[in-house]
Structure 1
Amino acid sequence: MQVYKVGGAVRDRLLGLPVTDVDRVVVGATTEEMLAKGFRPVGADFPVFLHPKTGEEYALARTERKSGRGYGGFTFYASPEVTLEEDLIRRDLTINAMAEDDQLNLTDPYHGQRDLEARILRHVSPAFAEDPLRVLRVARFAARYAGLGFTVADETMDLMRQLSESGELQALTAERSWKEISRALMEDHPQVFIQVLRDCGALKELMPEVDALFGVPQPETHHPEIDTGLHTLSVLEQSALHKQPLTVRWACLLHDLGKGLTPEEEWPRHIAHEHTGLKLIKAVNERFKVPKDCQELALLVGQYHTHGHRALELKASTLLELLQSFDIYRRPQRFEEFISACEMDARGRKGLEQRSYPQADYLRGAAKAAREVAVQPLLEQGFKGPELGEALKRERLKALKAYKEAATA
């Protein structure tokens, strides 16, 4: 019975990066032997065990065979006869197919260390094309390691194109897809994830609404980069540079979907794209069963981001409607995330990345003015029920008018 660290723990140690998750493979052992040593079984599909003291995962060496469609369409075989090399060959990338023992002796049958040094993401074997989830995984690794100069090998990109064209991506469950998408969006270079998916044809299959933005022009006066797809990538890039949470990054990705529906004869203008895009944002949210907080912010940013940009020009009544739409009194954080998404949108324009965004502080000040309107005096005046709501609205409008006059004087 031999135990090896495998995958990310070996890869990141060799890259000089912090090692967070440690996966271990056990060669030459049976399930009975693991149970006798006190390991607890947790794997539903194949033998995975938790260490009796540390709680870390140990998996028996195994082989796999394609038996159906999608990520789950595999039959696994684990036995003491399965070698370390046989276990490693079923992995996705060479840089993830290395193992080391406790003395840091490296087992690298598929030249992962060479590809690490060359900064190449390369598939281990032709079996790569049997698992459609690997298209998303490779794009995610490209986003993670882009800052170190990693690129996808041409032959691996060819296999990803084949997978995209085969229809296999449609077999992925919403849950598995969202897990990869959400992790990729939180990497340092999430725009690389989208670009790689587009380069291999997967974006068109998974998110045709985003793919449709590429090649769609915008007015050069507002958007020096012109292309809506490139603008979306830049907004996503800014969201990562400014360490935004997942909710904001998801909203940044989807905020301009309506521009993909603008008839060509109306280009480069996109009148009412905020409203036409809502049905597309809803469709993408539903397709991947996106968490509720991400869904809600994406829809609100899609509908109101131009209000954010024009904040200083908005009438007090329109400003109040905007604040009410976000329920700023009970959910202040959501409005703060909206402001962040608007700022990322403004910065995601060629040559304007460092431009200040005074609308952010203006909107925060407006929200503060509206929140500070006290309810108690109105209760003391006898207002209640719907009348109280109307009176509160009048007082908030009055406060916003005063705020607007003082802030724009």
Structure 2
Amino acid sequence: MRCYVVGGAVRDRLLGLPVSDHDWVVVGATVDDMLSRGFRAVGKDFPVFLHPRTHEEYALARTERKTGHGYKGFAFHASPDVTLEEDLARRDLTINAIAEDEHGSLVDPYGGQRDIAARVFRHVSPAFAEDPVRILRLARFAARFSDFVVAPETMALMRQMVDAGEVDHLVAERVWQEISRGLMSERPSRMIEVLRECGALARLLPEVDALFGVPQPAKYHPEVDTGAHLGLVLDAAARRGESLPVRFAALVHDLGKGETPEHILPHHYGHEGRGVALAEAVCERLRVPAECREVGVMTTREHGIVHQAMELRPATMAKLFARCDVLRRPERFEQMLAACACDFYGRPGYDMRDYPQIERLRVGMRAYVGVDAGAIARVLEDKSKIPQAVAEARAAAVADALRAA
């Protein structure tokens, strides 16, 4: 029985990155061997165990055989006669197929150290094509390790997988898991670029793929291309350390521009309204969590008016606050404002510009929520007039606050 650290822990150490978790592969052992040493079995599809003290994962060395479509279509074989090299051969990329023994010696049968030095993502074997999740994983790695490039033969293999319809069998939860992790990486735009290059973006996020090649007015968007703008906005959100809901909002905020009538291009009048149904469709298809869904749809609907905050009439601003339910969900409104700031700063040359719209909206919002609706209701004899009276009082409070600011 021999134990090796494998995968990300070895890769990250070789890259000089901090390592927090270790995954282990065990060669020459059976399930009974592991249980007799106090390990606790947790794997459903194949033998995985938790160490009795460290609680790190230990998996028996295994091989796998494709039995159906998707990432669940595999049969696994784990036994004491499976070698370390056979186990490593089933892994996705060479940089993830390096093992380290208890003495710190590396076992690298597929050239992972070479590819780390060359900053290349390369598949270990043709078996890469058997699991479509690996396309998403590689794209997510590209967002994390943004100085790596995809080996030409690996990109060609991913295109073949897409053409064969493999990504069409991915389950929504797994797609969201990988995309959300990519959004939280150093350069999310690289994930979009890789998915687009291999054709997977058009299958998984056709609404996003449709943005590429669509022009915008150069006066407001020096980058012109809407897809290029999306990448810049995503990377601005990453630089600013924004949360996942804000980054997801950055991803979907301009989807309506993909359906702009050709005769009005490069302008995109009404794209906010067109984008709402598209953002909702993405959320439904990928089963996006509620917080991300709410911030994403709100940002899609309202980012145009937020950008106009310096010119908004108080009554219009008050209606914005009402639509966004700032009385009950002020944190959602703040997340939307953060996404709008990323939209503003996601343009070449805008890094050093001021974006005063956010503070102006906050001034108005504080006045809006400060109105005592109960006090207004108590003095009105005609209760049917309460909603109108409260709305007028809130608009007046916003107006007073903006004048004083």
* TM-score tier after normalising by the smaller chain length: over 0.9
Q: Give 1:139's aligned residue.
A: 139
Matches within 5 A, 1:218-233: 218-233=216-231
* Counterpart Cα distance in 2 of 1:35 and 1:328: 54
Q: Deviations for 1:294-313, whole angstroms, at most 9, x for unmatched residues?
A: 11111111111010000111
Q: 1:120 and 2:126 equivalent?
A: no
Identity of aligned residues (%): 55
Query: Residue by residue, what CA displacement relative to the aligned partner does 1:79-101 show, whole Å, maximum 9, x if unpaired?
Result: 00000000000000000000001
| 1:236-255 → structure 2 map (5 Å cutoff) | 236-255=234-253
Q: Deviations over 1:259-301 (max 9, x none)?
A: 1111222210111111111111111111100001111111111
- Residue 167 of structure 1 aligns with which residue? 165
The aligned residue for residue 350 of structure 1 is: 348
What residue number does 2:72 align with?
72
Change (3 A) 1:405 1:20: same
Residue 47 of structure 1 aligns with an amino acid whose one-letter code is P
CA contact (8 A) 1:6 1:99 kept: yes
- The answer to whether the 8 Å contact 2:21/2:56 transfers is no
Query: Which residue of the partner structure matches residue 106 of structure 1?
Result: 106
Picking from 268, 271, 274, the partner of 2:272 is 274
- Letter of the 2:217 counterpart: P
Equivalent residues of 2:30, 2:79 under 8 A apart: yes
Q: Distance in 2 between matches of 1:207 and 1:226?
A: 21
Distance 1:334 1:386, change over 3 A: farther
Q: Distance in 2 between matches of 1:198 and 1:130?
A: 20
1:205-251 deviations in Å (ceiling 9; x for gaps): 11111111111001111111111110111111100000110101111
Indicate the SS of the match to 1:4: strand
Alignment match, 1:20? 20
1:56 corresponds to 2:56: yes
Shift of 1:393: 2.0
SS in 2 for 1:277: helix
Q: Residue 182 of structure 1 corresponds to which residue in structure 2?
A: 180
**Match of 2:4, SS?**
strand
For structure 2, list consecutive stretches of 5 or more residues without a partner in the other structure. Answer: none
User: TM-score normalized by structure 1?
Assistant: 0.96
**Cα distance in structure 1, aligned partners of 2:383 and 2:211:** 47
Deviation at 1:388, TM superposition (A): 4.1
Give 1:379 deviation, angstroms. Answer: 5.1
Give the Cα separation in 1 of the matches to 2:361 and 2:292: 21
Question: Match of 2:145, SS?
Answer: helix
Task: Output the CA distance in 1 between the equivalents of 2:132 and 2:367.
Answer: 51
- Code of the aligned partner of 1:177: V
Distance 1:77 1:368, change over 3 A: same
Partner of 2:337: helix, strand, or coil? helix
What is the aligned partner in structure 1 of residue 334 from structure 2?
336
**Counterparts in 2 of 1:199 and 1:384: CA distance versus 1, 3 Å:** farther
Give the C-alpha shift of residue 134 in structure 1.
Answer: 0.5
TM alignment of 1:352-391, pairs within 5 A: 352-375=350-373, 377-378=375-376, 380-381=378-379, 387-391=385-389
Query: Which residue of structure 2 aligns with residue 394 of structure 1?
Result: 392
In 2, Cα distance between equivalents of 1:372 and 1:129: 59
CA deviations 1:337-393 (Å, max 9, x no partner) are: 111111111111122222110001111111111112234533553579665444332
1:383–1:391: 8 Å Cα contact kept in structure 2? no
- Alpha-carbon contact 2:314-2:395 (below 8 Å) kept: yes
Find the counterpart in structure 1 of residue 7 from structure 2: 7
RMSD between aligned residues: 1.3
1:215–1:227 contact (8 Å) kept in structure 2: yes
Partner residue in 1 for 2:319: 321
Q: 1:105-156, CA deviations, whole angstroms, 9 ceiling, x for partnerless residues?
A: 111001101111111111100110111010000011111011xx21111111
Cross-structure match for 2:85: 85
Deviates more, 1:246-255 or 1:344-353: 344-353
Assess if the C-alpha contact under 8 Å between 1:5 and 1:24 holds in 2.
yes
Aligned mates of 1:72, 1:186 — CA distance in 2: 25
User: What is the CA–CA distance in structure 2 between the aligned matches of 1:164 and 1:353, rounded to whole Å?
Assistant: 37
Matched residue SS, 1:64: strand
Aligned to 1:196: 194
* Amino acid of the structure 2 residue aligned with 1:209: E
Residue 259 of structure 2 corresponds to 261
Aligned AA for 2:333? F
How far residue 21 of structure 1 moved from its aligned partner, in angstroms, is 2.0
SS at the partner of 2:347? coil
- Tell me if structure 2 keeps the 8 A contact 1:370–1:399: yes
Q: Following the alignment from structure 2 to structure 1, what is the Cα–Cα distance between the partners of residues 260 and 374?
A: 49
Alpha-carbon offset, residue 52 of structure 1: 1.4
Matches of 2:377 and 2:214, distance apart in 1: 54
Partner AA of 1:307 in structure 2: I
The 1:31/1:346 distance shift into structure 2, 3 A limit, reads same
Q: 1:324 to 1:83 in 2, by over 3 A?
A: same
- For 2:47, the equivalent position in structure 1 comes to 47
Gaps of 5+ in 1: none
Q: Which residue of structure 2 aligns with residue 130 of structure 1?
A: 130
